[in-house]
Amino acid sequence: MLTFLALASVVLLGIVPEQSQAIVIYTGWERHGLVGSDIRLSCSFFSWRWTSEDVTFSWTYRPDGSRDSISIFHYTSGVAYVDNKGPFRDRLEFVGNPGRRDGSILLKNLDFNDNGTFTCDAKNPPDIVGRPSSVRLLVFEKVPIQAGVITGAIIGVVLGLLVLIVVIYYLMRFLVARRVFSLSVSKHGKKKKEGSQQRQGPVPPAEPSKVKAAASEKKKQESRKDKK
């Protein structure tokens, strides 16, 4: 029983002396930036222990097409060191918060040649074993062509649909208006005829031109009815 308690307390308090455990380091997977802009590359880690006073972060950079990585940043004992020779000597700023396990860096004024792989390693002594994590940086001159083409296609389709809807709308309005118009015309004509027959008993001799016109109108109406 006593041994069990002792063992349990050791396990619970996590005071297994000098035994290090693995930590897990996270960065993004891929980041895209535009020439001249700034970009934040984040790095954090997971560890079972409290964050150590001696937490360290280090970043290396491997340009695309190169085999060698160069160290560009190191944080240790509360001090941040930026490489003073490499491509990021004046363009790198530490924006992390080591107490919160954040080892992020800010790359400023991105250059077209900054394409490459950035690798972050972190240690939280005595947890010092972890696989460094890498993030790929792609720098674009403007909007990426692929994205531009896709965006253009989407805009084109949307505009096309809008035009189609407008055309259909006006076509429908035109057709409805024509039907209503023809209906009102035929009603109007009928009423006039009935009224004239009731009120005026003996129809006074109409002028020949008017009679002709009325006849032609009647013919027209009849031909329309036939068509329908």
Ligand X SMILES: *[C@@H]1O[C@H](CO)[C@@H](O)[C@H](O)[C@H]1NC(C)=O
When CB distances to ligand X are compared, the closest residue is: 115
Q: Which residues bind ligand X (CB under 6 A)?
A: 112-113, 115, 138-140
Nearest CB to ligand X, comparing residues 30 and 222: 30
CB of 88 to ligand X, least distance (A): 16
DSSP 8-state secondary structure symbol assigned to residue 203: P
Provide the minimum distance between the beta carbon of 30 and ligand X in the complex, in angstroms, as a whole number: 10
Q: Which residues pair with 140 in a beta bridge?
A: 34
For residue 23, give every residue at least 6 positions away whose Cβ sits within 8 Å of its Cβ, in sequence order, or none: 45, 46, 47, 122, 123, 124, 127, 128, 129, 130
CB of 114 to ligand X, least distance (A): 8
Sheet holding 116-123, edge to edge: 30-34, 133-140, 116-123, 56-63, 70-76, 79-82
Radius of gyration (Cα) for the chain, nearest Å? 42
Output the smallest distance, CB 164 to ligand X, in A.
36
> Closest separation between CB of residue 147 and ligand X, Å?
11
Six-digit token string for 3: 């041994």
Q: Which residue lies nearer to ligand X by CB, 22 or 138?
A: 138
Burial class (CB in 10 A: 0-12, 13-18, 19+), 137: buried
Name which of 138 and 164 has its Cβ closer to ligand X. 138
Coil, helix or strand at residue 207: coil
Q: Which residue lies nearer to ligand X by CB, 28 or 126?
A: 28
Single-letter amino acid code for the residue at 179: R
Q: Residue 122 or 139: which CB sits closer to ligand X?
A: 139
